[in-house]
Structure 1
Amino acid sequence: MGLPEIIIDLNKIRQNTETVLALARPFGIEVVGVTKVFLGEPRIAGAMLAGGVRMLADSRLENLFKLKQAFPDVPLMLLRLPGISQVEETVRLAKVSLNSEIRVLEALAAEGRNQGKVHGVIVMVDLGDLREGVWPEDLPDFIGQVLPLEGIKLQGLGVNLACYGGVVPTEANLGRLVELAASLEEKFEIRLPVISGGNSASLPLLLEQRMPADVNQLRVGEGIVLGRETVKRQIIPGAAGDAFTLRAEILEAHEKPSVPIGEVGQDAFGQVPAFVDEGRRRRGILALGRQDVPTEGLSPRDGRLKIIGASSDHLIVDLSGASELEIGSVLEFDLSYGGLLGAMTSPYVHKRYI
């Protein structure tokens, strides 16, 4: 297989899954394995299942289709709000979907009846991150419209935090979700079996023993694939942070000035770059560009190296502190979540499983 490539250690994915589940188990929390960062690749999802997760979740119906083909008996969750145009596929592929619009829920109910199914729904609540969700004050009226719908089953409430708005999950805001669920149960004389308390950003509350009682589900992606929580991006004790390794080859290694010569205008991406004069430096050009991975999502494992920048096809790295690196040398990088998303999505980055 050629370079660049990303090496995926399936044993470490399984290990990380087991570690996260062991963290959640004392709180009675189900961990749903989120597969979107690796496009629902069944080999990686299979490692999550081997590690103990019982439900898989993805934001793309295309990925759910792959998972359904590979694991027909595993329940699937659609993470992204379904559109009106997607209700047929949503009911066909997913056991559960996250929702916040009554018109979509009405369409899901009609499609559930059409397919002879009862589709599970979790109503999302916006607790301040300002992405998807019903505003808390509007929730009672909203739920009152949901309950009579035949063809769907209200399973509970969910929240998404530390995503668009960066709002950190806390005892207070997740406690508010629990309170809202309890008030709805009392008002409508129903039981809401699922309180879905967010994503990997909620893992610090488990580590610090501060997770509110009654939160019983988390949707975890980065905590498994990169082994870390997403508030401070710290490695979870017992987890591996290097399940994915990006490798790229040096194509050129020359000593050159650190500041361009001539009038500087816009670069290929419409930005006017700024440069710091560090004298002549030994610069390596790698076969890896912005079409493959965002530069800010990469960290060289060799601490002597520094990323200078990138074009669409090439990554430029300062090799001055590593004189032994030459043409054909292969550099290894750790990835952020965004970097992993780019590398796994790019058809030009080969995937190798170990």
Structure 2
Amino acid sequence: MYPLLRFNKQQILENTQTVVRAAAEKNIGVTGITKCTGGNYEIAETLLAGGVTALGDSRVQNLVTLADLDCPKWLIRMPMLSEVEETVLYATLSLNSELKTVQALDTAAARHHRKHEVLVMVDLGDLREGYFSEESFCADMAEMLKLKNIDIRGIGANLSCTGAIVPTVETYERFDDFQTLLKKRFGLDCAITSGGASSTYFMVEDGTIPSCINNLRIGELILIGNDTSNNMRYENLHDDNFILDVEIIEIKDKPSMPIGKIGCDAYGCTPVFEDRGIRKRAICALGKQDTTMEDLTPLDANLEIIASSSDHLIVDITECSRDYQIGDIVSFRCNYVSALHASTSEYIYKSAF
């Protein structure tokens, strides 16, 4: 059945082993992030086989899917108040930066007669989640440490997302300051200091990663072999782990230029076309509802993506050496974004290869 997203388990395993081994040489553990895969069970197993110390996901629903895997599980997006019950049931640890939420987690954990681990997030300048003020950090930490069902495991930080801040040694001086502050004010040694994600890994490779970091939360680098934030392609990692197969449902010779007055498309954008005369065009059963077309790379180098709508992908096959027919399959390599969307589309089948 199609569309079909295929993932290469062996290559993902090799990527995991490579990243985990390099990080271990710097005394850093790796939390394998499954959110790109929609919490795919087989891929989660592969990450564990490759040596990650925990699994992490941004959605509680995905952690429910992985519930019977015997490993620590992290909720890496701060819990909503409406999901604290599910969080304490299915996540070993959650990332937090609001006292009210941590207090709600404590109450939920008490109801279920268990402890819940918390990593308190600090903001190093990317301006997404985390405490920016040391004063408010200490005030809330004093209250969190009173909670009987919460175990403060350490601190975490995020970079290269909303603010696109590239990690540097100087950036992490502030991370070290927060750790020193915890020790000085509360006598608390951080068991976990999670300093970032795939965008920090280059500091492992070049030997500049500070000793104040002992954990990285890595998804894209392992799954795709790239670090988009730093525009880095790692030659020792596989980057063709996700292949999207789609079926052709129409082939026609048509003008390359639409006929009539051009307005906005279904997404409110005004498309631009080049008049290249009559071209052989194929329509594939895939649309923007499934994934992001601009993030797909055809495996047939002579095939060109022309346009897409909610449910249709139009490609130019004029220059292709293969004589495509109705029902034939066209394959695309996915980057992180297209793999993320395809993995979470209920209309796309998934399979290992």
TM-score, normalisation: structure 1 = 0.94
Question: Counterpart in 2 of 1:77?
Answer: 74
- Say whether 1:155 aligns with 2:153: yes
Match of 1:250 among 235, 248, 251: 248
> 1:324-346, CA deviations, whole angstroms, 9 ceiling, x for partnerless residues?
33223322211121100111111
Question: Counterpart in 2 of 1:223?
Answer: 221
Match of 2:108 among 102, 111, 116: 111
Aligned pairs (5 A) from 1:47-196: 47-69=46-68, 71=69, 73-137=70-134, 138-196=136-194
Query: How far apart are residue 253 of structure 1 and its match?
Result: 2.7
Q: Secondary structure at the match of 1:248?
A: strand
- Runs of 4+ in structure 1 over 6 Å off: none
- Where does the alignment leave 5 or more consecutive residues of structure 2 unmatched? none
Query: How far apart are residue 123 of structure 1 and its match?
Result: 0.7
Q: 1:232 to 1:303 in 2, by over 3 A?
A: farther
Q: Secondary structure at the match of 1:68?
A: coil
Given that residues 93 and 116 in structure 2 are in contact (C-alpha distance below 8 angstroms), is that contact kept between their aligned partners in structure 1? yes
Q: 1:142 to 1:29 in 2, by over 3 A?
A: same
Q: Secondary structure at the match of 2:166?
A: coil
Corresponding letter in the other structure for 2:318: S
Corresponding letter in the other structure for 1:337: Y
Residues in 2 aligned to 1:318 and 1:179: alpha-carbon distance in whole angstroms: 56
TM-score, normalisation: structure 2 = 0.95
Given that residues 175 and 212 in structure 2 are in contact (C-alpha distance below 8 angstroms), is that contact kept between their aligned partners in structure 1? no
- Where does the alignment leave 5 or more consecutive residues of structure 1 unmatched? none
Q: Secondary structure at the match of 1:184?
A: helix
Question: Counterpart in 1 of 2:26?
Answer: 27
Residues in 2 aligned to 1:249 and 1:113: alpha-carbon distance in whole angstroms: 52
Identity of paired residues, percent?
Answer: 40
Query: How far apart are residue 98 of structure 1 and its match?
Result: 0.2
Given that residues 300 and 320 in structure 2 are in contact (C-alpha distance below 8 angstroms), is that contact kept between their aligned partners in structure 1? no
Match of 1:264 among 246, 262, 265: 262
Residues in 1 aligned to 2:235 and 2:261: alpha-carbon distance in whole angstroms: 51
Residues in 1 aligned to 2:231 and 2:339: alpha-carbon distance in whole angstroms: 14
Residues in 2 aligned to 1:229 and 1:146: alpha-carbon distance in whole angstroms: 35
Q: Secondary structure at the match of 1:32?
A: strand
Residues in 1 aligned to 2:167 and 2:304: alpha-carbon distance in whole angstroms: 34
Residues in 1 aligned to 2:276 and 2:291: alpha-carbon distance in whole angstroms: 26
Select between 324-333 and 95-104 the one with higher mean Cα deviation. 324-333
Aligned pairs (5 A) from 1:201-216: 201-216=199-214
